[in-house]
């Protein structure tokens, strides 16, 4: 049975009707804090800001230091980079139904980016770093939880919020927190932006980041060119072969970085290659690994060797039966509020992939209507703040109402 008694909850949402200006001001104040993934001070300033904004909810807050982000740099060296803190907030952990809400603190815009401030493009469109991805979603989450806490249904469900600092770089350090939260969650609500027209993301591709280090043989480019083994040329052959993975069903491969820096009179003996691969099925994760090893073997010649590093960090999000019914419920709640949208598959991925892989049905695009994310043209439609907060609050209240009246929520089973 899917909850359909919407008149019992929509009357509890009217407190949001006058919140547009407050939500706008709160969003601008967050977006004006640079929180690029490696701007530790900036990320932690956002943590402090959110700790203050969420304090009236009365939940238990915990600031958590995370392990550094470990990568292979362009010179082939393993390095660690510090990242900011995570923030968790929880309330009623002993309630019979638990909701996990998640949003990330970081943006793709580093501390030295030219894109640092917000501006109005028109009366409804705000341009700025993170206004859609996903600081607008954080404000929507805040007001949805406030609505729940101000309602007579609040005691019937518990909730935990995670604000993680590294989603834009793969959630490698915070994934342990995602996994811990999934163990006790019945359902997940993640606040990535919706599509510009309000559509929600459904199935998502999985994502893997890879590096390949190519080693050749140095030689004098004039006297002994024939004795050298050019690592740049070998890497380019490899990159062209990887690009052909795009011809396989459901696989997309993006060669993003080839780097070598040598004087012009030296045969280069090293080259760095970085690329991203996305897949629709877990089976294709193994297929990609197999194909990469075959490509490397076929490209390896005398004097040329390759080292493959990295792997898949976000599995594909394939919609379970419970997840499909959850999306149906959100569509019905949205429709009751005058919000009509579709569910759209996407090649983008997020923490919703990880939460789904731990068996928790979730909706991962509950944030603001916006677009041009990851560019300096990123925008959010301010008119969507209140309606989207109402929809999230409606979903929370639907769960609470169902628990109060002992409705059957077995359809929302965790997939183990």
Whole-number Cα distances in Å, 8 to 3, 128, 152, 407, 411: 11, 38, 12, 14, 21
pTM, rounded to two decimals? 0.93
CATH code for the part of the protein at 206-313: 3.30.70.360
Q: Is 340 left (phi over 0), alpha (psi -120 to 50) or beta?
A: beta
What does the pLDDT read at residue 11? 82
* Half-sphere exposure (Cβ direction) of 247: Cα atoms closer than 13 Å: 6
Looking only at the bridges linking them, the beta strands covering 69-72 and 78-81 are antiparallel
Contact of 348 with 316, CB cutoff 8 Å: no
Tokens of 306: 């390759």
> What fold characterizes domain 7-205+316-412?
Aminopeptidase (3.40.630)
Q: What residues does 274 pair with on adjacent strands?
A: 211, 257
What does the pLDDT look like over 191-243, one tens digit per residue? 999 999 999 999 999 999 999 999 999 999 999 999 999 999 999 999 999 99
Residue 47 has pLDDT above 90, yes or no: yes
Over residues 159-163, mean pLDDT: 98
Average pLDDT, the chain: 95
Over residues 306-331, mean pLDDT: 94
Residue 117 has pLDDT above 70, yes or no: yes
What does the pLDDT read at residue 410? 78
What does the pLDDT look like over 361-415, one tens digit per residue? 999 999 999 999 999 999 999 999 999 999 999 999 999 999 998 887 877 766 6
Contact of 344 with 200, CB cutoff 8 Å: yes
Longest dimension (CA), the chain: 85
- Give 273's pLDDT tier (boundaries 50, 70, 90): very high
Q: At what angle do helices 40-54 and 20-31 cross, to 10 degrees?
A: 160
Over residues 261-269, mean pLDDT: 96
- Give 103's pLDDT tier (boundaries 50, 70, 90): very high
Cα 322–324–326 angle (5° rounding)? Answer: 70
Contact of 285 with 279, CB cutoff 8 Å: yes
Length of the chain: 416
Every domain range in the chain assigned CATH 3.40.630.10: 7-205+316-412
What does the pLDDT read at residue 277? 97
Q: Which residue has the tokens 């080839």?
A: 258
Tokens of 372: 């041009």
Every domain range in the chain assigned CATH 3.30.70.360: 206-313
Contact of 102 with 355, CB cutoff 8 Å: yes
Tokens of 317: 């999000």
Q: What residues does 363 pair with on adjacent strands?
A: 189
Q: Is 331 exposed, middle or buried (0-12, 13-18, 19+ CB in 10 A)?
A: middle
The rounded distance, in Å, linking the Cα atoms of 87 and 64 is: 6
Over residues 55-68, mean pLDDT: 98
Identify the CA nearest to 396 among candidates 175, 91, 165: 91
The rounded distance, in Å, linking the Cα atoms of 164 and 46 is: 11
What does the pLDDT read at residue 149? 97
Residue 1 has pLDDT above 60, yes or no: no
Contact of 272 with 74, CB cutoff 8 Å: yes
What does the pLDDT read at residue 407? 83
Identify the CA nearest to 255 among candidates 297, 212, 206, 216: 212
357, containing H or E segment: helix 351-357
Q: What residue ranges in 125-186 does DSSP mark as E strands?
A: 125-127, 158-164
214, containing H or E segment: strand 206-215
Over residues 46-53, mean pLDDT: 98
Looking only at the bridges linking them, the beta strands covering 379-381 and 125-127 are antiparallel
For 270-309, give the DSSP string: EEEEEEEEEESSHHHHHHHHHHHHHHHHHH--TT-EEEEE
Residue with the bigger pLDDT between 247 and 22: it is 22
Residues 6+ apart with CB under 8 A from 6: 332, 333, 336, 394, 398
Contact of 203 with 282, CB cutoff 8 Å: no
Contact of 198 with 140, CB cutoff 8 Å: no
Q: What residues does 87 pair with on adjacent strands?
A: 63, 163
């Amino acid at each position: 049975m899917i909850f359909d008694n919407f008149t019992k909850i929509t009357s509890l949402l009217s407190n949001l009707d006058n919140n547009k200006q407050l939500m706008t001001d709160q969003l601008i104040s967050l977006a004006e804090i640079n929180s690029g993934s490696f701007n530790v001070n900036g990320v932690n300033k956002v943590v402090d800001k959110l700790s203050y904004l969420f304090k009236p909810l009365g939940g238990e807050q915990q600031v958590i230091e995370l392990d550094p982000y470990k990568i292979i740099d362009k010179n082939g060296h393993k390095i660690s980079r510090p990242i900011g803190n995570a923030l968790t907030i929880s309330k009623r952990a002993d309630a019979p139904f638990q909701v996990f809400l998640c949003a990330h603190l970081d943006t793709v815009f580093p501390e030295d980016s030219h894109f640092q401030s917000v501006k109005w493009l028109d009366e409804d469109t705000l341009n700025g770093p993170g206004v859609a991805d996903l600081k607008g979603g954080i404000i929507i989450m805040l007001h949805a939880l406030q609505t729940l806490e101000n309602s007579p249904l609040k005691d019937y469900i518990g909730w935990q919020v995670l604000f993680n600092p590294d989603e834009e770089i793969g959630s490698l350090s915070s994934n342990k927190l995602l996994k811990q939260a999934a163990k006790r969650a019945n359902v997940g609500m993640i606040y990535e932006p919706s599509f510009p027209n309000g559509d929600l993301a459904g199935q998502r591709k999985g994502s893997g980041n890879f590096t390949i280090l190519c080693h050749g043989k140095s030689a004098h480019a004039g006297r002994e060119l024939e004795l050298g083994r050019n690592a740049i040329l070998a890497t380019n052959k490899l990159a062209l072969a990887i690009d052909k993975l795009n011809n396989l069903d459901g696989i997309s491969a993006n060669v993003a970085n080839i780097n070598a820096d040598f004087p012009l009179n030296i045969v280069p003996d090293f080259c760095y290659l970085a690329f991203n691969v996305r897949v629709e099925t877990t089976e294709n994760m193994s297929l990609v690994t197999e194909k990469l090893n075959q490509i490397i073997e076929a490209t390896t010649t005398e004097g040329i060797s390759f080292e493959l590093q990295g792997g898949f960090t976000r599995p594909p999000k394939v919609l379970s039966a419970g997840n499909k019914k959850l999306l149906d419920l959100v569509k019905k709640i949205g429709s009751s509020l005058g919000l009509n949208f579709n569910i759209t598959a996407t090649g983008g991925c997020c923490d919703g992939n990880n939460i789904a892989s731990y068996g928790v049905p979730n909706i991962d695009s509950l944030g603001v209507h916006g677009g041009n994310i990851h560019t300096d043209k990123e925008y959010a439609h301010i008119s969507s703040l209140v309606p989207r907060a109402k929809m999230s609050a409606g979903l929370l209240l639907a769960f609470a109402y169902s628990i109060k009246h002992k409705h059957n929520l077995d359809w929302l089973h965790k997939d183990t």
